Amino acid sequence: MPILLRPDFDGPQVLAEARRSKDGPQARRLLAVAAIYDGASRTEAARFSGVTLQIVRDWVIEFNARGPGGLIDRMEPFLNGTMAAARRNRNTGHGKMSARSGDLTWRWYARLASASMSSS
C-alpha cells in the first residue's frame, strides 16, 4: 500500500511551490509530488522524474514530514568541509588545526575517516 500524501496540500499548491522554487532539484521533486496529488501513479512520477520508485517514496516521506522544504538538498555535516579537513590533516601529518578554522571537532571526524579508509 502506498504512503498517503499529507492532506493539507493539494496538486495546485505543490505546483505553485515548484514554480516559486529557486532550487532546480527541489522543483523537480515537487513536480513529482504534484503529479501524484493529481492522480499519477508513483511509477509514472518516477519515470518522468528520471528516478526509481524508491526515490519517489523517499521524497513522499520527506514531503509528509517537512513539507516542501523537506525536498531541498541538504549536506550532511560530515560530508562538507570537515571530511576534507580531516583528509588534509592526515595527509600532511599535522596534528592540530588552528582554532580560527572554526572546526573544533575535527579529531572525531579524522578518526572516522582513518578507520573507514583502513577498513576498505
> What is the per-residue pLDDT for 2?
79
* 1: in domain: no
Rounded to whole angstroms, the Cα distance separating 2 from 81 reads 38
Residue 56 lies in a domain: yes
Label residue 1 by pLDDT band (50, 70, 90): confident
Q: Are residues 67 and 15 in the same domain?
A: yes
Provide the phi-psi class of 96: left if phi over 0, else alpha when psi is between -120 and 50, else beta: beta
How far is Cα 81 from Cα 114, in angstroms, rounded to an integer? 16
Q: How many residues does the chain have?
A: 120
Report yes or no on 35 lying in a domain. Answer: yes
Domain limits at 93? 78-119
Same domain, 98 and 82: yes
Do 60 and 84 lie in one domain? The reply is: no
Element (H, E) at 75: none
Residue 47 in this model has a pLDDT that exceeds 50:
yes
Q: Say yes or no to pLDDT of 109 above 70.
A: no
The grid cell for 28 is 523537480
53-83: pLDDT as tens digits: 999 999 999 999 999 999 998 765 555 555 5
Query: Do the beta carbons of residue 58 and residue 84 sit within 8 Å?
Result: no
Domain count, the chain: 2
- 105 pLDDT band, cuts 50/70/90, is very low
